[in-house]
């Protein structure tokens, strides 16, 4: 019998990183010294105090059984305290908090909890590809909101047609933003919450990079700071980037209790939660989030950011220093589209950057560099770029 895969897979956008991926493999196989700014995955290890807590937790037999369905109480309570200390927003750890197996899991499952087939989800472009995939899997219809440099990479809410707003059931926001590095102001969040109330849709704010910021005096905000936001918003927070814990798979959703209960119902039928020992280690991380090992992570990215931004600016890339995230979103030199630019970087400098068009059509004309590379290697990459004539 010939296997026929489900047609919903054909509705996903083409995977545009494939060409760069293939070239990267070829370059490595040919013995080239490739400097890889591609994947946004922290290169440094998880801080030692978190690993130590995990080592103890893993021996505890109570952690060997199925996880609790909405998460280990100690994790939820510590996460709620962390949230209050960081954003000044009080959360009920039992009703307004749900543990996730990484925020990607929560983003992937949320549309199944809130969209009817045919409902519209408003999706930023360029953006993290999961918003669109998860919408399509739930039978929803993506409506793209372009993020442009002129508007500080915030969507133009006034430009969304009234007919679209009427059919919208979900709005995805992501600040600090991947791939552009932009942050959102409290005024913008207020406008989003008011719009959601007026048109009766839910907002999912993806705050995976909330702790990768560079200005201690003006840290990224939570949408839940807006009065009444908990009626219409959930926000995803992840330990992945804050604590170099991408492989551990631990995050949480906070906000509207009814939406979280619906998401918990989807999850209850799909997964059985995050390993309890990882939740214990995660609680230790959030409890001690001001430790030197953690604040050092930001300092490392800051030094890398300053080095790379200065180097790119000298090499005919249009570039602004990101306020947050570990991404540098650079305008390609004149005359190059994002695929051609990334291909030249790889062919002639053995430097991997991601073509912006891979994040959506509005990403055309840009490439993204992830700051997950040591400074010595960034300096080598800059030397190589300086020899390229565009
Ligand atoms: C914008 C954004 N959201 C969410 C995630 C998922 O993070 P995690 O599933 O590790 O929490 C990522 C990962 O790169 C991301 O870039």
- How far is ligand 1, taken at its centre, from the CA of residue 208, in Å? 6
Determine the pLDDT at residue 39.
87
**Residue identifier of the C-alpha nearest atom 5 of ligand 1:** 104
Determine the pLDDT at residue 71.
80
pLDDT in tens, 41-54: 999 999 999 999 99
- How far is ligand 1, taken at its centre, from the CA of residue 57, in Å? 25
Q: Is the confidence at residue 160, as pLDDT, over 80?
A: yes
280, 283, 289, 294 alpha-carbon torsion, rounded to 10°: 30
**Residue identifier of the C-alpha nearest atom 6 of ligand 1:** 104
Instruction: Count CB-CB contacts under 10 A for residue 19.
Output: 15
pLDDT in tens, 52-85: 999 999 999 999 999 977 789 999 999 999 999 9
Indicate the top mutation candidate among 41, 133, 178, 278 to test ligand 1's pocket, ranked by most ligand atoms within 8 A of CB: 178
**Residue identifier of the C-alpha nearest atom 14 of ligand 1:** 40
Q: Is the confidence at residue 234, as pLDDT, over 90?
A: yes
Give the mean model confidence (pLDDT) for residues 260-271: 96
How far is Cα 309 from Cα 345, in angstroms, rounded to an integer?
A: 16
Q: Regarding beta strands 202-206 and 168-174, do their DSSP bridges make them parallel or antiparallel, or are they unpaired?
A: parallel
- How far is ligand 1, taken at its centre, from the CA of residue 104, in Å? 6
- 22 confidence band (pLDDT: 50, 70, 90): confident
pLDDT in tens, 23-38: 889 999 999 999 999 9
Indicate the top mutation candidate among 41, 101, 128, 177 to test ligand 1's pocket, ranked by most ligand atoms within 8 A of CB: 128
Determine the pLDDT at residue 390.
85
How far is Cα 318 from Cα 325, in angstroms, rounded to an integer?
A: 18
pLDDT in tens, 93-107: 999 999 999 999 999
- How far is ligand 1, taken at its centre, from the CA of residue 128, in Å? 8
Helix (H, G, I), strand (E, B) or coil at 170: strand
Q: What are phi and psi of 142, to 5 degrees?
A: -75, 135
Give the binding-site residues of ligand 1, using a 6 Å CB cut-off: 40, 102-104, 128, 174, 178, 206, 208, 238, 240, 246, 251
Among the atoms of ligand 1, which is closest to the Cα of residue 41? 14
- 170 confidence band (pLDDT: 50, 70, 90): very high
Residue 34 burial class via C-beta count within 10 angstroms: exposed 0-12, middle 13-18, buried 19 and up = middle
- How far is ligand 1, taken at its centre, from the CA of residue 203, in Å? 17
What residue ranges in 161-249 does DSSP mark as E strands? 168-174, 202-206, 233-238
Give the mean model confidence (pLDDT) for residues 236-250: 98
Among the atoms of ligand 1, which is closest to the Cα of residue 104? 9
Quick check: 252 and 97 in contact, CB under 8 A? Answer: yes
Quick check: 370 and 37 in contact, CB under 8 A? Answer: yes
- How far is ligand 1, taken at its centre, from the CA of residue 212, in Å? 12
Q: Is the confidence at residue 17, as pLDDT, over 80?
A: no
- The pTM assigned to this predicted structure is 0.96
Instruction: Count CB-CB contacts under 10 A for residue 194.
Output: 14
Among the atoms of ligand 1, which is closest to the Cα of residue 103? 11
* Residue showing tokens 């760069």: 20
Q: What percent of the chain has pLDDT over 90?
A: 92
Determine the pLDDT at residue 355.
95
- How far is ligand 1, taken at its centre, from the CA of residue 321, in Å? 21
Indicate the top mutation candidate among 123, 209, 240 to test ligand 1's pocket, ranked by most ligand atoms within 8 A of CB: 240
The first and second tokens of residue 130, run together, are: 């999961």
Least confidently predicted of 68-72, 144-148, 165-169, 288-292: 68-72
Determine the pLDDT at residue 79.
98
Residue 80 burial class via C-beta count within 10 angstroms: exposed 0-12, middle 13-18, buried 19 and up = buried
Q: What are phi and psi of 223, to 5 degrees?
A: -65, -20
Q: Is the confidence at residue 167, as pLDDT, over 80?
A: yes
pLDDT in tens, 304-356: 999 999 999 999 899 999 999 999 999 999 999 999 999 999 999 999 999 99
Determine the pLDDT at residue 253.
98
Q: Is the confidence at residue 5, as pLDDT, over 80?
A: yes
Q: Is the confidence at residue 142, as pLDDT, over 90?
A: yes
Q: Is the confidence at residue 389, as pLDDT, over 90?
A: no
- How far is ligand 1, taken at its centre, from the CA of residue 41, in Å? 9
């Amino acid at each position: 019998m010939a296997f026929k895969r489900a047609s919903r897979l054909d509705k996903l956008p083409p995977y545009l990183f494939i060409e760069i991926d293939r070239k990267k493999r070829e370059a490595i196989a040919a013995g080239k010294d490739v400097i890889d700014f591609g994947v946004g995955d922290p290169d440094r290890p998880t801080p030692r105090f978190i690993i130590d807590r995990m080592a103890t937790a893993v021996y505890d037999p109570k952690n060997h059984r199925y996880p609790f369905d909405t998460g280990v109480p100690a994790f939820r309570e510590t996460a709620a305290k962390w949230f209050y200390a960081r954003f000044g927003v009080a959360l009920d750890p039992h009703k307004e908090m749900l543990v996730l197996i990484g925020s990607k899991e929560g983003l992937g499952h949320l549309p199944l909890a809130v969209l009817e087939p045919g409902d519209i989800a408003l999706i930023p472009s360029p953006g993290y590809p999961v918003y669109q995939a998860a919408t399509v899997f739930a039978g929803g219809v993506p409506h793209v909101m372009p993020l442009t440099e002129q508007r500080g990479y915030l969507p133009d809410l006034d430009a969304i047609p009234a007919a679209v707003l009427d059919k919208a059931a979900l709005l995805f926001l992501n600040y600090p933003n991947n791939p552009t590095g932009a942050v959102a102001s409290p005024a913008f969040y207020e406008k989003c919450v008011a719009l959601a109330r007026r048109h009766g849709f839910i907002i999912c704010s993806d705050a995976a990079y909330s702790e990768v910021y560079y200005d201690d005096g003006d840290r990224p905000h939570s949408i839940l700071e807006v009065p009444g936001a908990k009626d219409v918003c959930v926000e995803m927070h992840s330990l992945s980037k804050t604590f170099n814990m991408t492989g551990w798979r631990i995050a949480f959703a906070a906000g509207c209790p009814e939406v979280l209960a619906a998401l918990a119902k989807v999850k209850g039928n799909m997964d059985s939660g995050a390993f309890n020992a990882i939740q214990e280690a995660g609680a230790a991380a959030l409890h001690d989030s001001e430790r030197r090992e953690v604040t050092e992570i930001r300092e490392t990215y800051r030094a890398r950011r300053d080095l790379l931004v200065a180097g790119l600016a000298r090499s005919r890339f249009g570039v602004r220093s990101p306020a947050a995230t570990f991404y540098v979103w650079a305008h390609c030199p004149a005359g190059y589209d994002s695929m051609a630019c990334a291909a030249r970087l790889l062919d002639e400098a053995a430097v991997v950057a991601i073509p912006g068009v891979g994040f959506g059509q509005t990403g055309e004309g840009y490439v993204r560099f992830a700051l997950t590379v040591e400074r010595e290697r960034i300096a080598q990459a800059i030397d190589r770029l300086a020899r390229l004539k565009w």
